Amino acid sequence: MSAPERDPLAPLNVTTARNIEPGEQKLDVDVVIVGSGAGGSVAAYELAAAGRSVALLEAGPYVPSSEFTEKYPEMMELLYQDRGAQTNTTGDVVVLQGKCLGGSTVVNAAVAFRTPDHILEHWHDDFGLSDMTPETLDPYFSQVEGRLGIHENLPHEISLNSQLLVDGCNNLGFSSKPVSRNIRNCALSGFCIAGCASDRKQSMLVTYIPWAIEAGAQVFCDTRATEILVSGNRANGVRARTVDPKTGQTVATLTVNSKVVILAGGAVQTPLLLLQNGLANSSGMVGKNFACHPSLGILAEFPREINGWRGATVGTYCDEFEHPDKGGYIFEGAMTGADFMALFSPGIGDAHIRYMTNLKNTAGMISLIHDRNVGEVRLTEDGGKEIHYGIAVEDLPTIRDCLRDGARIFFAAGATRVIVPSYEPIMIESVDQIDAVVDRLTLAPLTMHYTSYHPQGTCRMGSDPANSVVQPTGETHDVDGLFIADASLFPTSIMVNPQVTVYTLATLIAEKINNRAAELFGAN
Amino acid sequence: MDKHEIDRTISNIARDLVPLGRRRFLRTGVAAAAAGAVLTQTGCSPAPGKPRPTGVSIMNDVELSMFERLVPVILPAGVENDLIPVSRVPVLENLDKVFEHFPTKLRNDFATGLKLFHYGSIVLGLHLKTFLSLDDEAALAYCRRWESGNDIQRGLMGAIKQLIFMSYWREPVTWGPIGYEGPFTVPNGVPRLGNQPRPAT
């Protein structure tokens, strides 16, 4: 008898608030994983494919791509944490994270960088991550790159918006390159961060999650982990609630007994869960060392139509200043739809009308900096969260350099004025004005609009239990059988888009777990 | 309002801000928050007997009256330009839906901010009238002072304008005049590829 024909468009076989049996549910598995983003999905597949029974819990909803409307506000509200309004305590850093099956991989711009060599060197030298060199990680990088169709953008995948970044760099003698993306047969819709409606982006939703299900993993959506079960010093399960996303009512409680627990909820939710449970924090480092690549969205008006919302959201980047010795920042040519760009308006009244009317002539870039790990995710007394983060004083020169060089690049590409991403409306009308504007920039609250697409670093990995939460194996220093596999592991910020680093770490950690199958699962 | 009433109102607002905590209040300066049923002072209430727009059920009367005034000031669409007038776009209805999803604590913070904004035009704005009493030109000038004001003012104005812009520009009817095409995949018949096959082991 032949295997049933695979239907790539069939809905995933997942349990949600709509179809879970109400009441108390119990499940026994080898591994329970909390969070279905880049880390959780990869770990789920790698472990299920090795014969482990796996339960994957996702607090967000299952939203198939057929429901991606390509309307930004709707998708922000449906697919993002806190409906797209998660911020630091001050309110001037919007911290974007996916909250849906597939996590942030569903709503990222598909930009795929390997961890920079100098970052791995730092991790190796200062945090004892001796296994993580470019050479040792190469096969893991290669595996995920192959599976996710990661390739350098071809010429047709570079929009006019991204080409302007290249033009400006060329005119200034700066280095620039096409970015690599996890995408197959890109339809150039321009809606990467609203979810890819035609499944070209190789997010977890269309890759590792269906593969994990095919390998036997059970997936629960609308299901938030509330308790990590521990016996003695060993994690042995998770308790969770399945909540109707429309009513907020608990439909079922789920107790998953397991031999291994993996937390992969991301750099905000993972430390919160540990803090709620008072676990793995002998170092006092849980929630600390938060970094987020505070990004400036620099816009510029040109004397011709660009229609920057067309084509790949991110096509190229400037790597001239990537190494910390040269500044420690990069620029990516990036633009989105008008219904999202309206939020970046530099003014009100007729200033807003001018901005929106000129939007088709406006190009955008974002800066990413290698920021210091000065933030902290805290649990509030009422069980809520607070993200404490402000740009470090030491990073102010970098922020200024970002704005200065970003403006120079745009003017070199032919811009007629540059829009500063500030609360107070500030325009730069010519190259001559750049320094005067940039030198006025301070770190006072609510001066600049920052967006973090990459929260990281709240449960850092390291060999020293006194200043790290997680061992180089992915297992916490304090609790046996409790692993972490998400961007909270990063000992430092990595400057570039982090998804490939997370995929790779999760692959590595799953392999280490599989290699200990006899010890952890009583199996071969 | 007489001078004593104004002084009392301002000092009440200042009192409200102290326990609120500066940092928590500033947090309202992003994608929003919205008022609780806090704004009850005279001068910040809607005109008596004025009907509520259809589809607005979450905003209280004061929030509604403030945004009815703020929307055309901050977003003068259709006024000497080709944009679709705000009166033809369900901005208030969309705002109402956003308010529905904000936590009570943040909503109350925002209410305090709106109070400060409304009465601040008397003292901070030097207009000697509450915001709702200002004419269009003075109202816009007052909003601009907040845009470039201290951090609390910038934060609140940032929240107000983002709420309004999001509620207007999310409507497809507004896109044509600026040349934005909107959704791409379905209108162009781009097929979904679905899930990738599992890798060969």
Lowest mean pLDDT segment, chosen from A37-41, A358-362, B72-76, B126-130: B126-130
Confirm if A377 and A307 have CB atoms less than 8 A apart. no
**Contact between B101 and A343 using a beta-carbon 8 Å cutoff:** no
pLDDT at residue B19 above 70?
Answer: no
| CA of B82 vs chain A CAs: smallest distance (Å) | 9
Residue A331, class by beta-carbon neighbours within 10 Å (0-12 exposed, 13-18 middle, 19+ buried)?
Answer: buried
Partner B contacted by A248 (CB < 8 A): no
Contact: B178, A356; criterion CB under 8 Å: yes
Could you tell me if A147 lies within 8 Å of chain B, comparing CB atoms? yes
Closest to A161 measured CA to CA, from A402, A414, A449, A330: A414
pLDDT of B12? 56
Q: Which residues contact B158 (CB under 8 A, 6 or more apart)?
A: A91, A423, A446, A449, B29, B30, B147
A446 contacts chain B (CB < 8 A) = yes
Across the A:B interface, residue pairs with CB atoms under 8 Å apart total 197
Nearest chain A Cα to B178, which residue? A357
SS3 A338: helix
Q: Residue A67: closest CA among chain B residues belongs to which residue?
A: B186
Burial (CB < 10 A; 0-12, 13-18, 19+), residue A284, is exposed
Q: What percent of chain B has pLDDT over 70?
A: 74
DSSP letters spanning B18-61: HHH-HHHHHGGGSS-----S---STTSSPPTTPPPPTT--SS-H
Minimum mean pLDDT range among A243-247, A469-473, B45-49, B61-65: B45-49
pLDDT of residue A185: 97
Q: Is B18 on the interface with A (CB under 8 A)?
A: no
Would you state the pLDDT for residue B29?
A: 39
> For A248, phi and psi rounded to 5 degrees?
80, 5
CB < 8 Å to A343, chain B: 31, 162, 165-166
d(C-alpha A475, C-alpha B195), whole Å: 31
Q: Measured between CB atoms, which of B73, B185, B197 is closest to A6? A: B197
Contact A189, A25 (CB under 8 A): no
SS3 content of chain B, % helix, strand, coil (to 5): 55, 0, 45
The answer to whether B101 contacts chain A (CB < 8 Å) is yes
List the single best residue of A188, A446, A450 to mutate versus B (max B Cβ within 10 A).
A446
Q: What is the pTM of this model?
A: 0.93
**Local structure of A390: helix, strand or coil:** coil
Contacts of A85 in chain B (CB under 8 A): 30-32
pLDDT digits (tens, 9 = 90+) for A222-258: 999 999 999 999 999 999 999 999 999 999 999 999 9
Question: What DSSP line would sit under A275-312, residue for residue?
Answer: HHHT-S-TTS-TTEEEB---B-EEEEE-SS---TTSS-
| Residues 132 through 191 of chain B touching chain A, CB cutoff 8 Å | 140, 143-144, 147-148, 151, 154-155, 157-158, 161-162, 165-166, 168-170, 172, 175, 177-186, 190-191
Other residues' Cβ atoms within 10 Å of the Cβ of residue A340: 22
Residue A84 forms contact with B (CB below 8 Å): yes
Q: Tell me which chain A residue has its CA closest to the CA of residue B184.
A: A189
Model pLDDT, residue A1: 54
Query: Distance (Å, rounded) from C-alpha A221 to C-alpha A215?
Result: 18
- Using the 8-state DSSP alphabet, how is residue B186 labeled? T
Element (H, E) at B3: helix B3-20
- Who among B30, B151, B169 is closest to A94 (CB)? B30
Cα R_g (chain A), whole angstroms: 22
Query: B40 pLDDT exceeds 80?
Result: no
C-alpha distance from B52 to closest chain A C-alpha (Å): 25
CA dihedral angle for residue A18, residue A21, residue A27, residue A29, rounded to 10 degrees: -40
- Residue A420 has a pLDDT of 98
Q: Give the DSSP letter string of A206-271.
A: GTHHHHHHHTT-EEE-SEEEEEEEEETTEEEEEEEEEE-TTT--EEEEEEEE-SEEEE-SHHHHHH
* Rounded distance between C-alpha atoms, residue A446 and residue B30, angstroms: 10
Q: Tell whether A355 is within 8 A of chain B (Cβ).
A: no
B196·A210 Cβ contact <8 A: yes
CB count in 10 Å sphere of residue A482: 25
Separation of alpha carbons A100 and A41, rounded Å: 12
- Report the C-alpha gap between A213 and B195 in whole angstroms: 12
Answer whether A88's CB lies under 8 Å from A450's CB. Answer: no
C-alpha distances out from residue A171 to A175, A176, A300, A408, A421, Å = 10, 11, 17, 10, 24
Dihedrals φ, ψ of A375, to 5°?
A: -95, 175
Contact A8 B197 (CB under 8 A): yes
Is the pLDDT at B1 greater than 70? The verdict is: no
- Say which of B27, B74, B83 has its CB closest to residue A87: B27
Which of B151, B181, B182 minimises the CB distance to A445? B151
Is A342 in CB contact (< 8 Å) with chain B? yes
Task: Spell out the residues 6+ positions from residue B107 whose beta carbon is closer than 8 angstroms to its own.
Answer: B33, B34, B35, B36, B99
Residue B74's pLDDT is 98
Residue A128's pLDDT is what? 97
What pLDDT score does B47 carry? 59
> What's the pLDDT at B39?
34
User: How far is the CA of A425 from the CAs of B62, B69, B154, in angstroms?
Assistant: 28, 22, 10
Q: What is the pLDDT of residue B53?
A: 87
- Give the A window 423-442 contacts with B, CB below 8 Å: 423-425
**Residue A193 one-letter amino acid:** I
Kind plus residue range of the DSSP H or E element containing A422: none
Give pLDDT, residue B5: 55
pLDDT averaged per 10 residues in sequence order, chain A, 524 residues: 78 98 98 98 98 98 98 97 95 97 98 97 96 96 98 97 98 98 97 98 98 98 98 97 96 98 98 98 98 97 97 97 94 97 97 98 97 97 95 96 98 98 97 97 95 97 98 98 98 96 98 97 76
